[in-house]
Chains A and B, each alone.
Chain A
Amino acid sequence: MGAIPTAIADSDQQPTDAEPPVLEARGIVKRFGHVEALRGADFTVRRGEVVALIGDNGAGKSTLIKTLSGVHPPDEGEIRVGGRPVQFSTPVDARRAGVETVYQDLAVADDLSVAANLYLGREILRSGPLGRLGLLDKRAMRQGAAAALDELGVRIPRVTTPIVMLSGGQRQCVAVARAIIWATNVVILDEPTAALGVVQTGRVLDVVRRARDAGMSVVLVSHNMPQVLEIADRVEVLRLGRRAAQLRADEVTTDDLVAAMTGSTNVDRDER
């Protein structure tokens, strides 16, 4: 891949930003049979910002998210993490690159405890030969889970509680916290509050803010325009499988967002 040193590839039009975007998609094409879900989509996430990804139904949001999280490898185009091209063939690849995703509905294993969920797939094993046999260090995981949740301000009774006994908001907080704890670059949240009430939504958004304040980048997929403007720093609009606009959240209204989504205007105020 990188065999030929290309001078052409360096002609990026990014002179102002010293640091390359933490996550970037360029010209992503994804087809499902005859349907072209993404037709050269671009997407940019910078360090320490909350980016909302919005778009009408069928605009390709979910597909783009799945591409960025390794669920659907793109047919064409390039994904870069911290400026370096990467190949996401599986969700594990994305996670190794520090990109964690919370999916709308399949976030947690209900029968497992909060601590077990936070460490799922990354269990702490006992040290020594017992660990090599796969023996879990449950205490270390309980303590680690409690400390991490505490730091993010997630309120749950105990880390030993099975997820099934938590409220919807608590479950979602655990799922979001899990992604934040392990992500080193970006957390992608697909409609994290779609099924939640007002108070519970507030809790989830608090967790997101705390993560952002700690330097994490967050991608938020949402249909809720007031919420997008409340929490996001920037908004990227997807329409018909392409990026239709990049907007600063503090410069626009919900009407602007809707207009950009439906295509009645094609503003791009973020262009430098």
Chain B
Amino acid sequence: MSSAEATAGTQRGELSDWFRERISHAVSEFTAATALVVLFIALTFASPYFLTADNLFNIGAQTAVIAIIATAQTMVIITKGIDLSVGSVAALAGVLGAMVVRDLGFSLWAATAVAIGVGALAGLLNGLLVTVARIPPFIATLGTMSVGRGLVFIITGAVGVYGLPRSFQLLGNGQILGIPFAVVITVLVAVGVAFLLSQTRFGQYTYAMGSNLEAARRSGIRVGRHLTGVYVLAGVLVGLGGMIAASRVNSGQPNYGISLELDVIAAAVIGGASLFGGQGRIVGTIIGAFLIALVRNGAVLLDISIHYQQVIVGVIIWAAVYFDQYRRRRLESRG
């Protein structure tokens, strides 16, 4: 039989294929990391305040919330979905977390559990809308975004939840050995989700569903259940992120997270997650989240108006998606 040498046999261009296969994931991550370093250096020169301990701490905490929620977004994007409701759900979770502390005397940890529960419920709702009601993710989560924001305003009467004990700030402003507590949580979340996606069956199914839903279904994967699971897990992280955000400002803000979805989608896509599904890694998303946080922070330091920040983020999304499509064409051109 010639099969042994056939498989082992070297084909023309195999080395370059191997190289392309290895780096195909890393290309966007490398590009994003380069942009991050360049921006970091540029801001160091542009603003005397940038490289201060206070500001770096601030960037860390700001990145944390974006990174945690972008991690959630990445999981959903890998399934070829999208979650537009993250901002509203984070606000709802943060506001309710603050309210149970103020009105019911919950501890910070119990309140965090409440916020996570709120996120999980919202995720379950999104998941059921997508899998049972078969509403496309874009529309399903657009609805949740609107319902969630409405609920936040109804519950709070459009007034922020203030009068919280100082201890409420621990999650967002506390530190361990000089490292923001929020950053520690982010690292744990990122490592956990990265492990889940790359090493477990749950992760394998997540990529498979985003890559070819019908193939996954016919492979016997219970796609409805798994897809709902992804949305629930994403919701858990969004709830956690919302709680950290509330803790940072020591209040529940009904306005929190408006257009947050753009920031986190941008972070995920910059890091290599593909809106066409099946691709994305948490490493890239974290770099993307850092980049977005840096853009926001730099704009504030350089006195660039919030409106220009919106423009910048929008342009970044265009560029990242364009790059993603370009990369896909390159990969597929071989077949």
Pair A166/B3 contact, Cβ less than 8 Å: no
Distance (Å) between the CB of B81 and the closest chain A CB? 15
Pair B220/A134 contact, Cβ less than 8 Å: no
Contact residues of B: prevailing secondary structure: helix
| Cα–Cα, bound, A6→B259 (Å) | 69
Specify which of B202, B214, B335 lies most central, judged by the most chain A CB atoms within 10 Å of its CB: B335
Pair A116/B204 contact, Cβ less than 8 Å: yes
Q: Does A150 contact B (CB under 8 A)?
A: yes
| Cα–Cα, bound, A160→B22 (Å) | 10
Q: What residues of A have a CB within 8 angstroms of the CB of B277 in the complex? A: 111
- Other-chain residue from A120, A135, A160, A167 in contact with B215 (beta carbon distance below 8 A): A120
Q: What residues of A have a CB within 8 angstroms of the CB of B216 in the complex? A: 109, 120-121
| Cα–Cα, bound, A166→B332 (Å) | 8
| Cα–Cα, bound, A26→B31 (Å) | 60
Distance (Å) between the CB of B186 and the closest chain A CB? 23
| Cα–Cα, bound, A125→B202 (Å) | 11
Contact with A along B204-235 (1 / 0, CB 8 A): 10011011101111111100000000000000
Nearest B residue to A171 by beta-carbon distance? Answer: B335
| Cα–Cα, bound, A91→B14 (Å) | 37
Stretch of A77-85, A151-159, A260-268 with 4 or more beta carbons under 8 angstroms from chain B = A151-159
Contact residues of A: prevailing secondary structure: loop
| Cα–Cα, bound, A254→B255 (Å) | 73
Q: Does B9 contact A (CB under 8 A)?
A: yes
Q: Does A162 contact B (CB under 8 A)?
A: yes
Nearest A residue to B274 by beta-carbon distance? Answer: A111
Q: Does B334 contact A (CB under 8 A)?
A: yes
If A103-B218, A157-B14, A161-B17 touch, does A120 touch B331 (CB 8 Å cutoff)? no
Q: Does B279 contact A (CB under 8 A)?
A: yes
| Cα–Cα, bound, A135→B331 (Å) | 29
Contact with B along A104-115 (1 / 0, CB 8 A): 001111111000
Nearest B residue to A92 by beta-carbon distance? Answer: B220
If A112-B207, A165-B20 touch, does A134 touch B202 (CB 8 Å cutoff)? yes
Contact with B along A12-41 (1 / 0, CB 8 A): 000000000000000000000000000000
Pair A136/B199 contact, Cβ less than 8 Å: yes
If A157-B14, A157-B17 touch, does A111 touch B201 (CB 8 Å cutoff)? no
Q: What residues of A have a CB within 8 angstroms of the CB of B325 in the complex? A: none
Q: What residues of A have a CB within 8 angstroms of the CB of B4 in the complex? A: 150
Pair B201/A109 contact, Cβ less than 8 Å: no
Q: Does B18 contact A (CB under 8 A)?
A: yes
- Other-chain residue from A146, A157, A165, A171 in contact with B11 (beta carbon distance below 8 A): A157
Q: Does A48 contact B (CB under 8 A)?
A: no
Pair B6/A112 contact, Cβ less than 8 Å: no
Q: Does A133 contact B (CB under 8 A)?
A: yes
Pair A153/B208 contact, Cβ less than 8 Å: no
| Cα–Cα, bound, A101→B217 (Å) | 13
If A121-B219, A157-B17, A160-B21 touch, does A110 touch B212 (CB 8 Å cutoff)? yes
Pair A108/B212 contact, Cβ less than 8 Å: yes
| Cα–Cα, bound, A112→B4 (Å) | 24
Q: Does A144 contact B (CB under 8 A)?
A: no
Report B1-51 residues with CB < 8 Å from chain A CB.
Answer: 1-4, 6-7, 9, 11, 14, 17-18, 20-21, 24
Nearest A residue to B277 by beta-carbon distance? Answer: A111
Specify which of A71, A101, A109, A171 lies most central, judged by the most chain B CB atoms within 10 Å of its CB: A109
Pair A136/B14 contact, Cβ less than 8 Å: no
Pair B334/A150 contact, Cβ less than 8 Å: no
Distance (Å) between the CB of A10 and the closest chain B CB? 34
Pair A146/B7 contact, Cβ less than 8 Å: yes
Q: Does B200 contact A (CB under 8 A)?
A: yes
Nearest B residue to A159 by beta-carbon distance? Answer: B7
Q: Does A233 contact B (CB under 8 A)?
A: no
Q: Does B278 contact A (CB under 8 A)?
A: yes
Report B36-94 residues with CB < 8 Å from chain A CB.
Answer: none
If A111-B211, A112-B208, A150-B3 touch, does A164 touch B11 (CB 8 Å cutoff)? no
Please list 28 pairs of residues, one from A and one from B, whose beta carbons are closer than 8 Å in the complex, sorted by A's number.
A91-B218, A91-B220, A92-B220, A109-B208, A109-B211, A109-B212, A109-B216, A109-B278, A110-B212, A110-B278, A112-B204, A112-B208, A120-B208, A122-B219, A123-B201, A134-B200, A134-B201, A134-B202, A135-B199, A136-B201, A138-B199, A146-B7, A153-B1, A155-B11, A156-B7, A158-B21, A164-B335, A167-B335
Spell out B's residues near A (CB within 8 Å).
1-4, 6-7, 9, 11, 14, 17-18, 20-21, 24, 199-202, 204, 207-208, 210-212, 214-221, 277-279, 331-332, 334-335
Known: A106-B218, A120-B219, A134-B200. 12 other contacts (CB 8 A): A71-B218, A106-B212, A109-B211, A111-B211, A122-B219, A122-B220, A155-B7, A155-B9, A165-B17, A165-B20, A165-B331, A166-B335
Please name the 8 residue pairs, one residue from A and one from B, whose CB atoms are nearest each other, closest first: A111-B278, A121-B219, A109-B211, A111-B211, A121-B220, A134-B200, A134-B201, A106-B214
